[in-house]
A and B are shown apart, each in its own frame.
Chain A
Amino acid sequence: MAMAPRLRKFALTAHVTSSVGWLGAVAGFLAFAVAGVTSQDAQVVRAVYLVMDLTAWYVIVPLCFASVLTGFVSSLSTTWGLFRHYWVLLKILITIPSSLMLLVHMPPISYIAGVAANTPLSIADLHGLKIQLVIESGAAVVVLLVATALSVYKPKGLTRYGWRKQREQRALSQP
Chain B
Amino acid sequence: MADPPLGSNSNNRVRLGRSSPPGMPRWVKIFGLVTAIVLVVLFVILHLTGLGGMGSHH
Contact = CB atoms under 8 A, between A and B. Distances in A.
Task: Give the secondary structure class of A's interface.
Answer: helix
A62 interface: no
A103 B42 CA distance: 19
Contacts, number: 77
Given A90-B28, A132-B51, A156-B12, A15 B21 contact: no
Interface stretch (A37-45, A50-58, A116-124, A157-165): A157-165
B12 A85 contact: yes
Given A128-B50, A132-B51, A132-B56, A158 B1 contact: no
A129 interface: yes
Interface in B1-44: 1-6, 11-14, 21-22, 24-25, 27-28, 31, 42
Interface residues of B, number: 25
Contact of B57 (A75, A108, A151, A166): A108
B1 A15 contact: yes
A78 B1 contact: yes
16 contacts: A12-B2, A15-B1, A74-B1, A78-B1, A78-B3, A86-B25, A88-B1, A90-B28, A131-B49, A132-B51, A132-B56, A132-B57, A139-B42, A155-B27, A156-B11, A163-B21
Given A156-B11, A157-B27, A158-B14, 20 more contacts: A12-B1, A15-B1, A75-B1, A79-B6, A86-B25, A88-B1, A90-B31, A108-B57, A108-B58, A111-B57, A128-B51, A129-B56, A129-B57, A132-B46, A132-B57, A135-B51, A139-B42, A151-B1, A160-B21, A160-B22
